C-alpha cells in the first residue's frame, strides 16, 4: 500500500500520537476519522474533530463526553479492546479499508497486542497500521509489495507455515520461522519484493 493512500477510514488509537509526516498526512487527508476512547481527548485538544468516538468510554473527559455526545458510541465488554471495537464499528459502517495510526508506543504489551490483532482484522477489512517508522501489513496469501532498493523489511509469522521470499537480501526458501526475531532485519533489493505463504504473516516496511 502506498503510505500516502487515503483509506475509507482512519482509526486513531491510544498509543503515541504520530509525529512522522506520513501518518500525519494520512490523518489530515482522512475522509472519516474514528478515535478510540482513550485517544479522543488528546486529538480534540490538538484541534482535531473525529467523526466517531468508539470504546467503553471510561477514559473520555466529561467535557468531551457532553460536547461530542452525538458521535459517541459506547460499546461495553472486556472481550475486545477499544481498537478492535473501532475496527468492528467501521466494518459495520461499510468501511472496508482502514488505516490505523497511534497503535504503538506507550506500553509494550499494548503495542504487541495491537500489532498481532492485524491478522484478526484482515478477515473482515483491508487494514494496515502506520507508525512513526513504517507500515505493518497483514497477509494470508502470496503477496507482492511496492518497495525501494535498500528498504528495511521484517516478517512476523503468526502461523507455522512455510515462507518463501523474492527480492530480499536474505532470501527464505520454504522456511518455517518459529520465533518473531527470525524474520526481522531483511532488506529489499528492488522496487518490489514478494512473500509467498499460505499462513498469516505481518510484514513491516521502514519508510527510509
The answer to whether residues 86 and 110 belong to one domain is: yes
Q: What range defines the domain where residue 188 resides?
A: 140-206
The last residue of one of the domains, among 81, 109, 133, is 133
Would residue 99 count as lying in a domain? yes
pTM for this predicted structure: 0.93
pLDDT digits (tens, 9 = 90+) for 27-83: 999 999 999 988 999 999 999 999 999 988 888 888 999 999 999 998 877 678 899
Which residue, 140, 147, 139, is CA-closest to 186? 147
- Which of the pair, 78 or 208, is modelled with greater confidence? 208
39 C-beta neighbours (distance < 10 Å), count: 28
Would residue 3 count as lying in a domain? no
The last residue of one of the domains, among 82, 107, 133, is 133
E strand spans, 102-160: 126-130, 134-139, 143-146, 152-157
Q: State the DSSP code for 175.
A: B
- Averaged pLDDT for residues 123-151: 96
What is the SS3 assignment for 157?
A: strand
Amino acid at each position: 500500500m502506498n503510505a500516502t493512500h487515503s483509506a475509507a477510514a482512519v482509526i486513531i488509537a491510544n498509543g503515541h500520537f504520530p509525529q512522522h509526516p506520513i501518518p500525519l498526512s494520512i490523518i489530515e487527508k482522512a475522509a472519516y476519522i474514528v478515535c478510540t476512547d482513550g485517544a479522543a481527548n488528546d486529538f480534540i485538544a490538538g484541534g482535531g474533530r473525529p467523526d466517531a468516538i468508539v470504546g467503553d468510554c471510561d477514559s473520555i473527559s466529561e467535557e468531551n463526553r457532553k460536547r461530542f455526545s452525538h458521535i459517541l458510541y459506547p460499546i461495553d465488554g472486556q472481550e475486545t479492546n477499544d481498537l478492535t471495537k473501532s475496527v468492528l464499528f467501521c466494518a459495520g459502517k461499510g468501511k472496508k479499508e482502514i488505516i490505523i495510526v497511534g497503535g504503538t508506543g506507550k506500553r509494550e504489551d499494548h503495542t504487541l497486542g495491537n500489532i498481532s490483532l492485524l491478522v484478526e482484522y484482515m478477515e473482515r477489512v483491508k487494514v494496515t497500521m502506520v507508525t512513526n517508522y513504517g507500515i505493518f501489513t497483514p497477509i494470508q496469501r502470496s503477496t507482492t509489495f511496492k518497495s525501494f532498493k535498500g528498504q528495511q523489511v521484517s516478517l512476523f509469522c503468526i502461523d507455522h507455515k512455510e515462507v518463501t521470499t523474492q527480492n530480499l537480501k536474505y532470501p527464505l526458501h520454504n522456511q518455517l520461522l518459529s520465533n518473531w526475531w527470525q524474520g526481522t532485519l531483511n532488506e529489499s533489493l528492488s522496487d518490489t519484493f514478494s512473500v509467498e505463504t499460505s499462513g498469516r504473516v505481518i510484514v513491516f516496511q521502514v519508510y527510509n
